[in-house]
Chain A
């Protein structure tokens, strides 16, 4: 053990039933290259599984990828479960296909950032770093 060191830990999860994880993998890789420790959980995660993994891994950030359109169901549920576990300080970031009209409500619920197709990974990296300062 050298001097104390801490790293930004991020859980990348694919919530719900869609099986497209290319975006999640690209983001995971980019965050890794930015010096973060990225826990990748794979496909078809339920809100309960995501919350359990976030607790066990003690992550600063949960990055959700949702392309199925179920975000208005999944996101509130995950935020509620995180709170129940005492993980109020976990930041939630969302990527995927999220219609503009849903964004204000998601932000109000506590989502820290929402990213659609074409977002530069640099933007995501900077937003996460800022949120974790």
Chain B
């Protein structure tokens, strides 16, 4: 009996793995079949997200992180590391230049590392639509660590937090003042905050700014320091996952300085997730998110198949003439598709 594609992946065949990643990325019928077969084997890998503004050193840090994992001395067998690196697709040509490997040359020749670059293909939020699928393939293939590097992110690319168990947000000195640290968005999703390029001037200020932000977000016990006075807060400390106070770590990714601390913090976070039950909560959120995305896409494509272009064009024309509101039009188009 010939070995099935998914079995070959489980057996560790790299060619089968890489071809499967392509099928999943292209969202083909074969790709779906592979995901389906692999799904029972997923849920074991520690998924680590790495995000931050362009040029803060994400790829270089990922390079060091993978190197350190592969050299880790405490366990006898170092974990296998998969890296999914996402770069943006051009909105004009649909093409992409995927350059993250340039910073990951140190990882060449290690069979315990597998790097896959992917283009965002029009998705917003820092990831590609198929990133979660690729991660599941790596998870099933037995990679204990899967590092997901997002597109260079600004303030609102927070999808990585829904995919990863542990999210590292990278900052660099000189990118903004303290007001940036109290804005909503990317800093809020960090399990670990890294100030990379910490050998550059201004690193101390960035570190201090981030630490101050954390004191506000996670007051020590129920107390916060206000005008030198310790004041009691009556907030509900267990709002969400507030038992974990993010680390703020300085690193210099080009030399590897601070990376062992980062790896230790990641394994602490992993232990925390497991012991507090938050691992389960995040798994549930992640799968729910995936389910809802799939459901949304499926419903839309079913609708597209059922609606006649004439009805759609007629409704659009009516909206253009202000005879029909867009909200009424939506209702009409859903009914028109018999849904």
Contacts and interface: CB of A to CB of B under 8 A. Distances in A.
Interface of A: 1-7, 28-29, 31-42, 46, 48-49, 52-53, 55-58, 85-87
Most buried by A among B28, B293, B294: B28
A42 B101 contact: yes
B90 A33 contact: yes
A42 B90 contact: no
Nearest to B99: A40
Contacts of B18: 55-58
Most buried by B among A6, A32, A87: A32
Interface string B7-49: 0000000110011011000111101000000000000000000
B243 interface: no
Given A39-B98, A42-B101, A57-B116, A32 B90 contact: yes
Interface stretch (B107-115, B200-208, B211-219, B260-268): B107-115
Contacts of B102: 40-42
B124 interface: no
A32 B109 contact: no
B97 A29 contact: yes
B336 interface: no
Interface in B69-127: 89-90, 93-99, 101-102, 105, 108-109, 114-117, 119, 121
Contacts of B109: 48-49, 52
B129 interface: yes
A7 B93 CA distance: 12
Given A7-B119, A29-B97, A32-B93, 8 more contacts: A2-B27, A4-B27, A32-B97, A37-B89, A53-B108, A55-B18, A56-B14, A85-B14
Nearest to A49: B108
A39 to B, nearest CB: 5
Given A32-B97, A33-B95, A37-B95, A4 B21 contact: no
Contacts of B117: 39, 57
Nearest to A13: B101
Contact of B96 (A37, A41, A52): A37
Nearest to B128: A1
A56 B116 contact: yes
B26 A58 contact: no
